[in-house]
């Protein structure tokens, strides 16, 4: 049985080095037959804006999301309230991320064998 691991990202990385280390950790876990997912909440949702080519793409953020796509790290989840409070429009249902309501979060987290906060 494949173990599951959730990387919870709740803030913008302060440097490209931190972003690279986060990506390295994601790829390392996925290389060892762990099913890896990502949850963006609070200021972590700004990773989505950067991936869409906005001006905040100063630390290679679009590369981060593109690498997740390339290596098939999915699903990527985002907390709906975090997106709304930062003025993000809901994403297209056919694209990433999948949305999760804050009230669902505690029960939803129980499905993962490991939850790592970054």
pLDDT averaged over the chain?
80
Rounded mean pLDDT, 47-68: 60
Bridge partners, 35 (sequence order): 4
Q: Where are the domains of the chain?
A: 3-117
Whether the full predicted model's pTM is greater than 0.75, yes or no, is: yes
Token duo for residue 37: 């997912």
Token duo for residue 36: 């890896």
DSSP string, 31-60: HTTEEEEEEE-GGGGHHHHHHTT-TT--SS
13: buried, middle or exposed (CB in 10 Å: 19+, 13-18, 0-12)?
buried
Pick the CATH number of 3-117 from 3.90.470.10, 3.40.50.1950, 3.40.1260.10, 3.40.50.1220: 3.40.1260.10
Bridge partners, 117 (sequence order): 8
């Amino acid at each position: 049985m494949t173990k599951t691991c959730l990387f919870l990202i709740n803030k913008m990385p302060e440097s490209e080095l931190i972003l690279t280390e986060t990506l390295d950790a994601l790829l390392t876990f996925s290389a060892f037959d762990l099913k890896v997912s990502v949850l963006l909440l609070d200021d972590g949702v700004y990773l989505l804006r950067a991936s869409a080519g906005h001006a905040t793409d100063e630390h290679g953020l679009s590369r981060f999301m593109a690498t997740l796509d390339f290596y098939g790290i999915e699903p990527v989840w985002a907390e709906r309230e975090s997106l709304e409070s930062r003025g993000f429009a809901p994403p297209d249902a056919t694209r990433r991320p999948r949305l999760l309501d804050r009230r669902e979060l505690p029960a939803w987290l129980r499905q993962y064998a490991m939850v790592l906060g970054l």
